[in-house]
Structure 1
Amino acid sequence: MEIVLSTADITTVPADAIVNAAHHALRGGGGVDGAIHRAGGPAILAECISKYPDGVPTGQAGWTSAGNLPASYVIHVVGPNYLAGQRDPELLESCYRNALRIADELGVRELTLPAVSAGIYGWPAQSAAEIAVQTLSRTPTTVAKATFCLVEPRLYKAFTKAAAAGE
């Protein structure tokens, strides 16, 4: 899999699917989650409510159509909230593995992703980057290209370092 790093807004990058760093209720929210729901329109929220009335547990994922986004699907992953004490790296790895599993089920070849849990959930940037890059590199998948959209300079720097270490 080719891993690409970008500073673009995730809601503007064309792909087969966009990974959303979602709150467990799957009802929209702040950060990347809010941006994806705003750009994608109300169809995404309506589908989340219909398909996942009880939300999704931390580390797990679900999917919806992408509404007005430049993609066919949104894969909603529920990252661990580091600031609330959810600090098991396995939970964060599970987000990426489940995103890839769903991507494979949907026939996704190009995926855009945020730095799951590294924003308002407070996961340390370098650790989040290493977990993301290593998990994507080591997980068997038919996804050919994964583009991390990293608008924060600290995240872009961390992912650049993690990607270089993985080569």
Structure 2
Amino acid sequence: MRGRGLYVGCGNGRNHVALVDAGLNLTGLDVSREAIAQLRADHPHLTPDLVRADFHDFQSELAFDYIVAIQVFQHGTAAAVRSMFARAAKLLRRGGLLFVRVNSASTDVYYSHRVVERGDRGGFTVRYDDGPKRGLAIRFLSLRELRETLDPWFTPLVPTTEQFASREAPKRGSWAQWEGVWVRR
């Protein structure tokens, strides 16, 4: 893929490193000081292209040709999610691509949680009481909500698909996510 990209929420680099090693010109961005430090230690060749910052505060002099956000634009309330997509639109050039995976409202939420927000378009936000995301607010989007959230700035490039993964025993239920690629208008 040609151009300059931004990987939002690069974390430990599981996907980021593979994409860079495949030839993508990709800046890794993460809010976690520890994740960026570990990624720099494990992959020193990436150091110049790793940034520790909050996505909302991140500044770039040039627009990006593509943005990758896997399981990132679901952190927070519906308003926070909308603000992340709006921020992505500001950072992308017209015609740029947005690759996204977010939680689907079809998910059987497993860990103990409280629903703290319900939308009229089928989405909801939970705050986890237990598990690895304890204390975090996480949004689960309906397809309608996802489409309407993206609509002010983006056009779908491919049909949005819903992916389901069954949990391994002793956990029950399934986890569902929306995946898609959108073009910045």
- Tell me the TM-score normalised to structure 2 length: 0.37
Higher strand residue share = 2
Work out which of the two has the higher radius of gyration on C-alpha atoms and give 1 or 2: 2
Higher relative contact order (CA 8 A, sep 6+): 1
- Tell me the TM-score normalised to structure 1 length: 0.40
